[in-house]
Amino acid sequence: MAVNLTELSLPQLEGLKTQLDQETEFLSSSIGQLKVVQTKYVEAKDSLNVLAKNNEGKELLVPLTSSMYVPGKLHDVDNVLVDIGTGYYVEKKVENGKEFFKRKIDFLTKQIEKIQPALQEKHGMKQAVVEVMNIKLQQLHSQQASQSAITTKA
């Protein structure tokens, strides 16, 4: 259902603008969160490149927390444990792990591409509402100026 913005009152336009602000904020936040997760998958996929035969037996630092590491040795360069969600891990060959992360990255890219047009549409709608509000405000100010000029003459 299309609504003619010029037929809406200023309070209705303000309400619509507020709603569009909230929707654009939500969509922007969603895209941002998807990009954060996507970046983590890209980093995980790239880190699998370390698992090469020539690195087997080399010393490395194993993270216990985000800021605490312990020394270790790389023993298995053929298999990885992949967190598939809700606390479940699956052992995969390195190449299968890379494929898993690539699928996740591609899925997130598609989700971002689906949300982006909706965000742009909401921005366009918001701009149209603001333009109509400005026109109505200008009309209101010119009407008030005309009425004050008439009352000062009388």
Rg (alpha carbons) of the chain, rounded to whole number: 28
CA distance to 14, 46, 96, 138, per residue, from 144 (Å)? 20, 65, 71, 10
Encode the chain (154 residues) as per-residue pLDDT tens digits: 567 888 888 889 999 999 999 999 999 999 999 999 999 999 999 999 888 888 899 999 999 998 999 999 999 999 999 999 899 999 999 999 999 999 999 999 999 999 999 999 999 999 999 999 999 899 888 888 777 767 666 5
Mode of pairing for the β-strands spanning 68-73 and 79-85:
unpaired
Q: What is the pTM of this model?
A: 0.75
Residue whose pair of structure tokens reads 């336009």 in the numeric block = 13
Question: Which residues lie across from 61 on neighbouring strands?
Answer: 71
The CATH code belonging to domain 22-114 is 1.10.287.370
